[in-house]
Amino acid sequence: MSGLRNMPAPGAVDARRPHAVAAPPPEKRGRRRRRTSGPGYTLYAQGEPMVWLTGGALVLCMAMIAGMVLLIVGQGLRTFWPVPVTRVTTLEGDRLMGEVTRQDRFAPGPEVLARLSPDDAARARAAMETADDGLVERRLLRTGNFELTGTHFHWVSGFAVTEEQAPPWAIVFERREWGRFYGVPVAFTVDGAEVARDPRHADGGAGHAEPSPVWAEFTARMPEIRRLIRERYRLEQVEIGRVNRRLESARLALRKVELRHERGRATDDDLARARVLQADRERAAQADYEPIAARIAGLNAEIRRPALLLETADGREKVLPLADIVRAYPANRLSLPEKLGVYLSRWREFLLSDPREANTEGGVFPAIFGTVVMTLIMTVVVVPFGVLAALYLREYAKAGAVVSAIRIAVNNLAGVPSIVFGVFGLGFFCYIVGWRIDTLFYEASLPRPTYGKGGILWAAMTLALLTLPVVIVATEEALAAVPRSMREGSYACGASKWQTIARIVLPRAMPGIMTGMILAMARGAGEVAPLMLVGAVKLAPDLPVDFQNLAGALGPIPTGPLHADRSFMHLGFHIYDVGFQSPNSEAAKPMVFTTTLLLITLIAALNLTAIWIRSRLRRRFSAGAF
């Protein structure tokens, strides 16, 4: 023990050995030198696996998003490109003509082979045996001519084709009704009399002369027919619509007097005068209606005069009036510029026209218009209320149990299924608020509801409730990001709390508020489930905005040209209807991708506009950027 007491302290100089230094103390347990190699080195300790894991997850997410976008873009952009027309003859003697829309491989079942002759069945089995996987090719032909064949598409197996041609003058006709028609022009008639005839059919022969007289006559007369159809549409929609609105206004005025008379607020003389005035208005409207109806009848007679006599692939003939034709082109004779012209013409029709053929053809302009108007109304409603609610929670409310409960409720509201908001909107806005508005301001229109049903206003209000949590949370975060020193500096200068909020806090939080608005617009514009209950319909003949008769649009509640009570079309609901409710699913399938591409583009355009505004605000208030 005495030897231990006489040992020098660690690191001290030994007096007995002046040049000796005590050894340093050993390292403490648990403190290890960091190694970059050797048996003690682990890759996980340095974090490299997490880097690869997180980077791989990011790449996977980006690949999924890019794959979805590429699929939609690729399928959507090629929908309107014209393809050649093929005429085939099958083993069973069927002659079909149409456009190839899809190809795949399949294994013919016993029922398919049983319908063939022994030689043809042997040929089919040989084709299956020569294939590597035992499958044979087949093509889906869009043959159209529904009124003659009862179907729009035919599957044609590769082994069943005995002859295949590309007729040079096979014409694709896109019609207003019955879908497409495929045929070869035989003659051009006016009032049943032939004006031009295909030389191949002059003597019943099958020569190869081009039917230039028939096609030339068609291309010369079709522009005039289109002009007459536009004039008829204007008379039916604008002129007759104006007369009908006058009649409806007169009927409502008489009904109001009758209701007042029933309650003792109008005398018998008032009721008699109202009935006389109603009769005078009806006579005046009838006098205005008769010349318009006569003009429409004359246009119909003029439009129905010219027609094409066509021959189908199976030899049948069909008379097709020019009034039924929307577009026609010889698919197998188009040059690249002509194909591009057809492609752009179809896109123009798709963006600017009304739908037809159960929404499988035509345009989606009402759906585009309804989607934009509903999204703008929703934004105008949700942003002010969301910002005011966030301002109170962040700037005025004292922290406590009530404020915490409200924040929890707002966060939970963001997780409620969207269909629940639709049920609430139907019950509250339509059946309670709308019914009350009808009884107060539109009693004369009852029992037909005005606001007591689904409409674009109630749809926008429902989606405003749906997206309100997004705006509140984003606004609160933006307000919290404004430095407290800026508030204190404003208070030190003598500004009140509201002056500080309005001139200091809100301008610098505006980029964050715009972020919340962008997220709300993106979610609201793409929602479908609530709209199915509160206003979106398959086909809306009238747009929710009407500039033709502003005086009639005012009504008891002044809304200007906006008819907030009208049902509307929506691109999301249109995609659902075309994809799952269409009677012609094969024809509707390409339209699903095209409409989806349009919806994504529309939402992106709205978001980019908001992002551009946000970037300008951010540059202006860089200190408060969020």
According to the model, what pLDDT value does residue 206 have?
Answer: 41
% of the chain beyond a pLDDT of 90 = 33
Contact 245, 237 (CB under 8 A): no
Tokens of 433: 């608020």
Q: Is the pLDDT of residue 110 over 90?
A: no
Q: How far apart are CA 95 and CA 611, in angstroms?
A: 57
Strand partners, 183: 171
pLDDT confidence tier of residue 3, bands split at 50, 70 and 90: very low
Among 545, 519, 542, residue whose Cα is nearest residue 374: 545
pLDDT confidence tier of residue 603, bands split at 50, 70 and 90: confident
Tokens of 247: 């009649």
Q: Is the pLDDT of residue 555 over 70?
A: no
**What is residue 23's three-state secondary structure?**
coil
**What is residue 139's three-state secondary structure?**
strand
Alpha carbon of 597 to those of 81, 190, 293, 364, 602: distances in Å?
16, 43, 41, 12, 9
99's enclosing H/E stretch is strand 95-106
Q: Residue 43's CB: how many other CB atoms inside 10 A? A: 9
Alpha carbon of 52 to those of 35, 45, 61, 376: distances in Å?
21, 14, 14, 43
Parallel, antiparallel or unpaired: strands 317-321 and 306-311: antiparallel
User: Beta-strand (E) ranges in 287-445?
Assistant: 306-311, 317-321, 325-330, 355-356, 361-362
According to the model, what pLDDT value does residue 203 have?
Answer: 40
pLDDT confidence tier of residue 419, bands split at 50, 70 and 90: very high
Tokens of 184: 């070869």
According to the model, what pLDDT value does residue 578 have?
Answer: 87
pLDDT confidence tier of residue 348, bands split at 50, 70 and 90: very high
Contact 207, 198 (CB under 8 A): no
Q: Is the pLDDT of residue 324 over 70?
A: yes
DSSP character for 335?
-
241's enclosing H/E stretch is helix 240-262
Tokens of 150: 């009862």
Q: How far apart are CA 477 and CA 625, in angstroms?
A: 12
Tokens of 197: 């005839």
Measure the N-to-C terminal CA separation of the chain; round to a whole number of Å.
Answer: 71
Q: Is the pLDDT of residue 213 over 80?
A: yes
Average confidence (pLDDT) over 501-519: 88
**What is residue 240's three-state secondary structure?**
helix
pLDDT confidence tier of residue 241, bands split at 50, 70 and 90: confident
Is the N-terminal amide bond of 447 cis, ω within 30° of 0?
Answer: yes
Q: Which of 169-173, 318-322, 359-363 shows the lowest mean pLDDT across its residues?
A: 359-363
**What is residue 516's three-state secondary structure?**
helix
Q: How far apart are CA 523 and CA 379, in angstroms?
A: 11
**What is residue 119's three-state secondary structure?**
helix
Q: Residue 599's CB: how many other CB atoms inside 10 A? A: 22
According to the model, what pLDDT value does residue 385 have?
Answer: 92
Phi, psi for 326 (deg, rounded to 5): -95, -45
The predicted-structure confidence for 132-190, as pLDDT tens digits, reads as follows: 666 778 889 999 898 888 888 888 888 788 888 888 889 999 998 888 999 999 899 99
Contact 78, 347 (CB under 8 A): no
Average confidence (pLDDT) over 408-415: 87
Phi, psi for 156 (deg, rounded to 5): -125, 120
Helix, strand, coil percentages for the chain (3-state, nearest 5): 60, 15, 25
Higher local confidence (pLDDT), 619 or 309: 309
Parallel, antiparallel or unpaired: strands 193-197 and 361-362: unpaired
Tokens of 394: 């962040």
Q: Is the pLDDT of residue 94 over 70?
A: yes
Cβ neighbours of residue 29 closer than 8 Å, sequence gap 6 or more: none
Question: In angstroms, how far is CA 537 from the centroid of its own chain?
Answer: 13
Higher local confidence (pLDDT), 5 or 39: 39
% of the chain beyond a pLDDT of 70 = 86
According to the model, what pLDDT value does residue 604 have?
Answer: 87
Q: Is the pLDDT of residue 540 over 90?
A: no
CA geometry: angle at 624 spanning 620 and 626, to 5°? 105
Mean pLDDT of the chain: 83
DSSP character for 115?
T
Alpha carbon of 269 to those of 272, 443, 587: distances in Å?
5, 22, 62
Contact 525, 375 (CB under 8 A): yes
The predicted-structure confidence for 24-72, as pLDDT tens digits, reads as follows: 555 555 455 555 555 555 555 565 777 888 888 999 999 999 999 899 9
CA geometry: angle at 353 spanning 348 and 354, to 5°? 150
pLDDT confidence tier of residue 508, bands split at 50, 70 and 90: confident
pTM for the model stands at 0.83
